Structure 1
Amino acid sequence: MSNYNKATKILTEEIQATLTNVKGEEVEALIEAINKADKVFFVGVGRVLLSLQAIAKRLAHIGVQTYVVGQITEPAITDKDLLIVGSGSGETQFPLIIANKAKQYNATVAHIGTNPESSMSQYADLFVRLPIGSKEVTPETVESKQPMKSLFEQSLLLLGDSIALMMVDNKNIELNSLWEYHANLE
């Protein structure tokens, strides 16, 4: 087996093990919150932010009004809105500050992370756990061989695509109709 094949085997097995062990009821609760919200905001930092930006774009493609915190056209958050926080540890300072601020405006806060007992839990109304090595080790916990926290960002991105697919199915959206939401100035 080539080094490339070994590496891709590790990646795909880790991602499959992670996503297979995400609790469906947590994902369903997040979808319900997305459907209920007027606007959906996303906050994270670094590579997590990149995954969240892709999720925001994917949800925009299916008609959800999405914003990434800090973008130039970001509107005010209200009590009718949802903030989705991506933070593996739940301890990253910028997302914690933004979640606290969102709660001051009575917005709903959802946290996608690895540790349900993190500092973010004081702000989160709902939590989706990606069972990746963290303080909370369960039989489902995946210990990654990848550098840094790559498995978290990869799983987060694919969780977002899974959510979009579930929403398309739940709403019986015709896939060809989604092109009206796709960028056309490209």
Structure 2
Amino acid sequence: METIAAVLEEMQKVCLNVHAEEYSSFVQLLKEDRRFFFTGEGRSGFVAKAIAMRLMHSGKTVYVVGETTTPAIQETDILVVLSGSGKTAQALNISESANRAGATVFMITTNEEALQLPFISGGVRIPAATKYRHTDEPETIQPLGNQFDQAAHLILDAAIIDSLAEGKTNEELVKKHSNLE
């Protein structure tokens, strides 16, 4: 139980230290009537898929990069990139390609410098530890990039909740949930 308490304490510290303006800009982006594409590698990719699924339940048109049914990204679309380090080669290559197509590229990362890249339109910096354990990262008992991935999941789920239209109920979201299980 001590480990659970420590992880929860870490998550509270990390999640509550996200810049309110960055968070609000993501919530506003989620309110837009555009197509959303999600990408990330490893565990960050799993979080990206989980968030993409929940956003689809809210009524948005959502795709995951790399899936066989994902169409070409266009200039009216939004690419959401999860990369703890902000340096993952594939995530950056996909971001550059989306930018060349004219899409909005929004990055979720721990790396402030990555948010300044010319092909990144905006982002949320999560002040969490990564597997690289840079000196400016918070202490954690968790291995590798767990702290970032967990914080990203919590923060992005909260942003979806904040982006939902007034009065949208759980029952409405359930209607979009898979019924082929």
TM over 0.5: yes
Match of 1:176 among 153, 168, 171: 171
Which residue does the alignment assign to 2:107? 111
Which residue does the alignment assign to 1:151? 147
1:36 shift after superposition? 2.2
Match of 1:16 among 12, 19, 30: 12
Larger deviation: 144-153 or 90-99?
144-153
The residue type equivalent to 1:124 in the other structure is I
Q: TM-score, normalised by structure 2?
A: 0.91
Which residue does the alignment assign to 1:71? 67
1:98 shift after superposition? 0.2
Q: Any residues of structure 2 matched to 1:81-96 within 5 Å, and which? A: 81-96=77-92
Which residue does the alignment assign to 1:32? 28
Match of 1:123 among 119, 143, 150: 119
Which runs of no fewer than 5 residues in structure 2 stay unpaired?
none
1:135 shift after superposition? 5.3
Which residue does the alignment assign to 2:76? 80
Residue deviations 1:82-131 (CA, integer Å, cap 9, x gap): 00010011100000000000011110000100011138723211110111
Larger deviation: 33-42 or 45-54?
33-42
Partner secondary structure for residue 128 of structure 1: strand
- State how far apart, in whole Å, the 1-side matches of 2:7 and 2:168 are: 31
Structure 1 stretches of at least 4 aligned residues deviating more than 6 Å after TM superposition: none
Partner secondary structure for residue 111 of structure 2: coil
Match of 2:180 among 150, 160, 185: 185
- State how far apart, in whole Å, the 2-side matches of 1:152 and 1:30 are: 17
Q: CA RMSD, aligned part only? A: 1.7
The residue type equivalent to 1:84 in the other structure is V
Which runs of no fewer than 5 residues in structure 1 stay unpaired?
none
Contact 2:56–2:62 (8 Å) recurs in 1: yes
1:28 shift after superposition? 1.3
Q: Percent identity?
A: 34
Which residue does the alignment assign to 1:100? 96
- State how far apart, in whole Å, the 1-side matches of 2:46 and 2:142 are: 18
1:7 shift after superposition? 0.8
The residue type equivalent to 1:38 in the other structure is R
Larger deviation: 60-69 or 118-127?
118-127
Q: TM-score, normalised by structure 1?
A: 0.89
Residue deviations 1:30-50 (CA, integer Å, cap 9, x gap): 122222252110111001000
